[in-house]
């Protein structure tokens, strides 16, 4: 078979506009009034290189359908240029229905946390000054009292994220010593957090015991020797082993730890400050329960169910937390004032549980009732219908939302979805157009239709979704 691909490629490349012609087009001329000309020219060169690369790697079938007309190539370049000039990190509308999605920045912050960020960045801040004495303060003190009150622990420290917290605790308490962990708890979270790797990097010696589905208390006890640094328990937050299963409870581990004078660490993953199951939601481990059971150090994330900024929170016995704070690694893993500002405001919300569900967006989404979801779905569907006329179809169907973030991973919440089809556009193409809308909208595909899960839409976002769809069907 003759390969025509190279001829087609040559033909496409010959249609490529010259840079000096491109910058004469109206769209790009107007961009040059706003941005430095050199920057624009630089971006255009990158885009042309990128396009050439794409085309060089395209298969013949795709090449044949690829836009050959000069005008079309120009509009592709213009589109890419406009996108390059926009910020990369932007607010996104989450129509996909995963409440805590690492890709979408996990927990959205409360209004109170947002306000705190504005306040402390508006000028200077008290991040490390003790205001009454005027002396140098310690940033750990900013939230330690709050964490102690909310968890019942003796002391607390905060670092960059829970991976950092885990690494820091292991390095402080088990450097060069054996940390005993069940084979059923050697988890991977989100691809890059792997307990065995974190343990190795921390300088602890991993001592695995038991089997995937069963680890008994005596196995921990048998593994203890004079070089044991730590007993580690990890909440297996993103999967469930069912069937012939038995794990050693934290309480049993604590008994063994006390008997042999070895500290017990509990990595809770998400961790919650109160019991969600009392409100009919799935149970997620409660930090104060681990403390009450006698864990020496407990770690959890700031941006999962807690609903705050990215952070790793460590609570536990004062003698261990003091060692952790003194470790030089904790200086390297420390958080900035922005994190402390948002975290402090988030923690304060938990003192008023009545208002909490209203002000804490992630909890608010979890607590949405079926009728609230239906009401939102109808509002979205009607709004879409009024702009679509006969250019598309909508509908309301049942579905499930995920809590996500490794929290309650095996649990899902029944929800209401609004499906959308525009003309003959494929769901993949429509999904892409929505992601490139302003603001970007992330959706899901179900039964060959783009769907919006109304659970994760803020009230004011329904109008934004309708406006974005309007811009797609009625351009100009
Ligand atoms: C999410 C999770 C982590 C990692 O937390 P980050 O805040 O993402 O660093 C660690 N352990 C468990 C059990 C988790 O669920």
The domains found in the chain, sorted by start residue, are 7-85 (no CATH), 93-103+366-473 (3.90.1150.110), 111-359 (3.40.640.10)
List Cα–Cα distances, 467 to 82, 395, 434, 472, in angstroms: 20, 18, 11, 9
Which two structure tokens, joined as six digits, stand for 428? 């993949």
- Assess whether the C-beta atom of 406 lies below 6 angstroms from ligand 1: yes
Token reading at 366: 């979890």
Rg value, the chain, Cα: 27
353 CB contacts (<8 Å, ≥6 apart)? 274
pLDDT value of position 304: 95
Q: How many angstroms from the chain centroid is the CA of residue 79?
A: 28
- Our separate counts of H helices and E strands in the chain read 21, 18
CA 82 to chain centre: 27
Task: Please give the chain's pLDDT, 476 residues, in tens.
Answer: 566 788 888 888 888 888 888 888 888 888 889 888 998 899 889 988 988 898 888 888 888 777 667 777 788 888 888 888 889 999 999 999 999 999 999 999 999 999 999 999 999 999 999 999 999 999 989 999 999 999 999 999 999 999 999 999 999 999 999 999 999 999 888 778 899 999 999 999 999 999 989 999 999 999 999 999 999 999 987 777 888 888 999 999 999 999 999 999 999 999 899 999 999 888 889 999 999 999 999 999 999 999 999 999 999 999 999 999 999 999 999 999 999 999 999 999 999 988 999 999 999 999 999 999 999 999 999 999 999 999 999 999 999 999 987 655 567 899 999 999 999 999 999 999 999 999 999 999 999 999 999 999 999 999 999 999 999 999 87
Contact present, 266 and 181 (Cβ < 8 Å)? no
Ligand 1, atom 6, lies closest to the CA of 162
Name the residue with the closest Cα to ligand 1, atom 7. 162
Predicted confidence at residue 361, as pLDDT, reads 98
Measured distance CA(441)–CA(92) in Å, rounded: 6
Q: How far is the CA of 306 from the centre of ligand 1 (A)?
A: 13
- Assess whether the previous peptide bond of 151 is cis (omega < 30° from 0): no
Sequence-distant (6+) residues with CB within 8 A of 408 are 237, 270, 281, 282, 284
User: Pairing mode, if any, of strands 178-182 and 228-234?
Assistant: parallel
Rounded Cα distance, 402 and 98, in Å: 5
List the structure tokens of 262.
């070895």
- Are 81 and 39 in contact, with CB atoms under 8 Å apart? no
Provide the terminal-to-terminal Cα distance of the chain, rounded to the nearest Å. Answer: 45
Q: How far apart, in whole angstroms, are the C-alpha atoms of residue 251 and residue 238?
A: 22
Instruction: Kindly state the tokens that stand for 296.
Output: 């020496």
Backbone phi and psi for residue 8, each to the nearest 5 degrees, phi listed first: -65, -45
Ligand 1 centroid to Cα of residue 269, in Å, is 5
- Does ligand 1 come within 6 angstroms of the Cβ of 235? yes
Taking the C-alpha atoms of residue 444 and residue 427, their distance in angstroms, rounded to an integer, is 9
Q: 338 CA distance to ligand 1 centroid (A)?
A: 21
Crossing angle for the helix pair 37-57 and 26-34, to the nearest 10 degrees: 130
- The response to whether residue 162 sits with its C-beta less than 6 Å from ligand 1 reads yes
State how far the Cα of 176 lies from the Cα of 284, in Å rounded to an integer.
Answer: 33
């Amino acid at each position: 078979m003759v390969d025509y691909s190279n001829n087609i490629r040559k033909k496409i490349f010959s249609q490529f506009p010259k840079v000096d012609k491109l910058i004469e087009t109206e769209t790009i001329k107007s961009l040059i009034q706003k941005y430095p000309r050199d920057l624009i020219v630089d971006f255009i060169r990158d885009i042309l290189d990128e396009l050439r690369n794409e085309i060089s790697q395209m298969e013949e079938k795709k090449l044949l359908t690829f836009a050959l007309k000069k005008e079309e190539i120009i509009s592709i370049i213009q589109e890419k240029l406009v996108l390059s000039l926009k910020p990369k990190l932007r607010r996104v509308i989450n129509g996909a229905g995963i409440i805590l999605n690492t890709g979408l920045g996990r927990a959205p912050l409360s209004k109170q946390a947002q306000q705190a960020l504005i306040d402390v960045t508006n000028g200077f801040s008290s991040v490390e000054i003790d205001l009454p004495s005027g002396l140098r303060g310690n940033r750990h003190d900013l939230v330690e009292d709050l964490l102690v009150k909310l968890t019942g622990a003796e002391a607390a420290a905060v670092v960059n994220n829970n991976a950092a917290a885990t690494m820091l605790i292991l390095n402080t308490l088990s450097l060069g010593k054996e940390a005993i962990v069940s084979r059923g708890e050697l988890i991977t979270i989100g691809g890059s957090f792997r307990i065995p790797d974190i343990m190795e990097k921390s300088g602890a010696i991993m001592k695995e015991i038991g089997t995937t589905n069963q680890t008994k208390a005596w196995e921990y006890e048998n593994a203890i020797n004079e070089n044991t640094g730590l007993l580690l328990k990890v909440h297996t937050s993103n999967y469930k082993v069912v069937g012939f299963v038995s794990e050693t409870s934290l309480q049993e581990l604590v008994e063994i730890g006390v008997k042999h004078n070895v500290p017990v660490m509990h990595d809770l993953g998400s961790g919650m400050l109160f019991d969600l199951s009392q409100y009919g939601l799935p149970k997620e481990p409660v930090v104060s329960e681990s403390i009450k059971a006698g864990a020496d150090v407990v770690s959890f994330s700031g941006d999962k169910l807690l609903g705050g900024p990215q952070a790793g929170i460590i609570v536990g016995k004062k003698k261990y937390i003091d060692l952790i704070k003194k470790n030089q690694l904790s200086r390297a893993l420390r958080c900035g004032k922005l994190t402390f500002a948002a975290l402090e405001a988030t923690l304060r919300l938990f003192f008023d549980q009545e208002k909490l569900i209203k002000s804490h967006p992630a909890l608010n989404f979890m607590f949405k009732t079926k009728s609230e979801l239906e009401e939102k779905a109808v509002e979205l569907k009607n709004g879409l219908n009024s702009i679509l006329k006969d250019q598309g179809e909508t509908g309301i169907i049942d579905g499930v939302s995920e809590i996500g973030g490794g929290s309650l991973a095996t649990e899902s919440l029944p929800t209401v979805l609004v499906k959308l089809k525009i003309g003959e556009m494929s769901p993949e193409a429509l999904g892409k157009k929505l992601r490139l809308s302003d603001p970007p909208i992330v959706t899901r595909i179900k039964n060959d239709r783009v769907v919006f899960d109304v659970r994760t839409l803020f009230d004011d976002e329904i109008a934004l979704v309708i406006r974005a769809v309007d811009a797609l069907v009625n351009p100009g």
